[in-house]
Amino acid sequence: MYTKYTFQDWQQASNKPEMVVIIVSDYKASPDFQYAVTASAYFAGDNVEVMRKVMLKLESVKSSTGESKAINKEVIGNRVASNFFYRFATQQNQFLLGNGVQLKDKTQKDKLGKAFDTSLQQIGENAIVQGVCFGFWNLDHMEVIKAAADARSGFAPLYDEETGALKAGIQFWQIDEQKPMYYRLFEVDGITEYKRVDQKIAETVKKRGYVTKLRKDAVSTEAIGERNYSALPVVPFYANSLCRSELTNNIKSKIDLYDNIMSDFGDNLDRTNDIYWVINNFGGTGDQIIDMLAEINRIKATYTEAGASGQSTAEPHTIEVPYQARQTALDLLRKALYQDYMALDMDEIKGGSLTNVAIKVATTNLNLKADRYEWQAFMFVQQVLALLNIETEDIKFKRRTITNDSEVVQDIMLMRSDITRKKALELNPYIQADEIDAILTDMDAEDATGLPSADELQAQIDEMKSTDEGVNN
């Protein structure tokens, strides 16, 4: 969490435009911003550590006198990046927020707009990646503001030193280093816009209220006043109670090791067709060896000179890839990554014979992680609703659970005498919610004909079977 400059520092500043530049510049240089950029790269599949990887290659160069000389040259080998963090973050976010937020009062949900659930998923995803993401309630919809959109753009928060609450913030963006920098200053009493060109910053839009009152007639529309919300309409969504990215050092170090092993593995495979030479009893110099290898590459043959100890020989060899050791290391790292992140490895629940009990056990860690994440989502939605003058704690999230649907249907059949038709239909995974009313109407129509229901028919069949068995006995 960035706390170098606070809301109190902002209040004490005499030159507000200049303070905007200072705060943003310091935030861009902060470890919080830099790590958010790094975590976003890992989420996108760009491992910044493995992308720096180089290897040394021995090459022969000619000196000014025409003599050959061996030098080590840095070359780019294989740089293999995994998608572990993308997989983990997406799974965690969609498991909890994939079905959106559920409010008991439908009118309350309607006030959030049709796109709110989508925005919530985007904000949650960015929060997991970067540690925090901000939602700006703009009149009737939610805007997603990333803590670090890229290396030049983001949002600098200004927290209250006493309460730790977000009291103000500066969104900034720049499409290119040679282009202007734009700023939006969010305060409780309004929003102000700035533009910086050639080290000079100027106010482009004076402070205005977040909500403009309009008066319309048959000819025109006229602004007659402005108002603000009861609190800052920019709400933070934190990934966890530590307000840190879920790409912890524990997870990052294992991903780096996994990717480095895969990259080295690729280098080994590239060299499997290479031949290296073991020269015994060679009495020459290193430069002569370089010349010898060049001759081998040219005519595919050479000769060697005898050393002091006897006949010189040159033996060709190929590189053997240590496949088994690397595969063991990769398997151990993969397992450790899933365990440490508390993610669900889908390989553990493959197969059609798994019971719901077995699936529940496999998803225990994911549910535990979702429990902690859900509290952050709850607080975010609650603060957004408060901006709309809605106070409620009836905020729920339906998790995207994995079940054996056939087993669920069997359980419903066993409970049919204890639950209503509507409840049975609601529990049935093969029936959509919008189909229930039509199905119930058809059921009522069948009952009105006087024909026995399916349950009644089944009971009659069971009774007849029982009677027949008694007669036969």
Q: How far apart are CA 311 and CA 300, in angstroms?
A: 21
DSSP 170-226: EEEE-SSTTSPEEEEEEETTEEEEEEEETTEEEEEEEEE-SEEEEEE-SS-EEEEEE
pLDDT tens per residue, range 180-236: 999 999 999 999 999 999 889 999 999 999 998 767 767 666 667 789 999 999 999
**Residues in Cβ contact with 441 at an 8 Å cutoff, skipping those fewer than 6 apart:** none
Q: Supply the pLDDT for residue 425.
A: 82
Strand segments, DSSP code E, in 190-319 are: 190-197, 200-208, 211-216, 221-227, 234-238, 275-280, 313-318
Q: How far apart are CA 134 and CA 136, in angstroms?
A: 7
Mean pLDDT of 143-161: 97
pLDDT tens per residue, range 356-403: 788 888 899 999 999 999 999 999 999 999 999 999 999 999 998 877
Supply the mean pLDDT for the chain: 85
Q: How far is CA 157 from CA 28, 232, 237, 369, in A?
A: 12, 12, 12, 27
**Higher local confidence (pLDDT), 349 or 162:** 162
The residues pairing with 74 across neighbouring beta strands, listed in sequence order, are 56
Local structure of residue 309 (DSSP, 8 states): T
pLDDT band at 414 (very low <50, low <70, confident <90, very high): confident
pLDDT tens per residue, range 300-342: 555 555 555 556 666 666 666 677 888 899 999 999 999 999 9
pLDDT tens per residue, range 78-93: 888 999 999 999 999 9
Q: Please give the angle made by the CA atoms of 8, 13 and 16, to the nearest 5 degrees.
A: 115
Q: How far is CA 128 from CA 90, 100, 146, 248, 413, in A?
A: 9, 17, 11, 11, 41
Mean pLDDT of 97-117: 93
pLDDT band at 104 (very low <50, low <70, confident <90, very high): confident
Q: Directed axis angle between helix 364-387 and helix 84-97, to 10°?
A: 60
| End-to-end CA gap in the chain | 80
Please list the helix, strand and coil fractions of the chain in percent, rounded to the nearest 5, in that order.
Answer: 45, 25, 30
Q: Give the gyration radius of the chain's Cα atoms.
A: 34
Handedness of CA 39, 45, 49, 52 (dihedral sign): negative
Mean pLDDT of 11-25: 96
**38-52, 133-147, 444-458: the lowest-pLDDT one:** 444-458
Q: How far apart are CA 81 and CA 450, in angstroms?
A: 67
Q: Supply the pLDDT for residue 411.
A: 78
pTM of structure: 0.79
Note whether 225 and 213 are within 8 A (CB).
yes
Q: Supply the pLDDT for residue 126.
A: 98
What are the backbone dihedrals phi and psi of residue 276, each rounded to the nearest 5 degrees, phi first?
-115, 155
Q: How far is CA 47 from CA 13, 132, 259, 262, in A?
A: 40, 21, 8, 12
pLDDT at 148 over 90: yes
Residue indicated by tokens 């996994």? 258
pLDDT at 469 over 70: no
Q: Which amino acid is at 385?
A: L
Q: How far apart are CA 427 and CA 216, in angstroms?
A: 50
Q: How far apart are CA 42 and CA 86, in angstroms?
A: 7
- Name the maximum alpha-carbon separation found in the chain: 114
The residues pairing with 58 across neighbouring beta strands, listed in sequence order, are 72
Q: Please give the angle made by the CA atoms of 458, 463 and 466, to the nearest 5 degrees.
A: 130
pLDDT tens per residue, range 335-352: 999 999 999 998 877 765
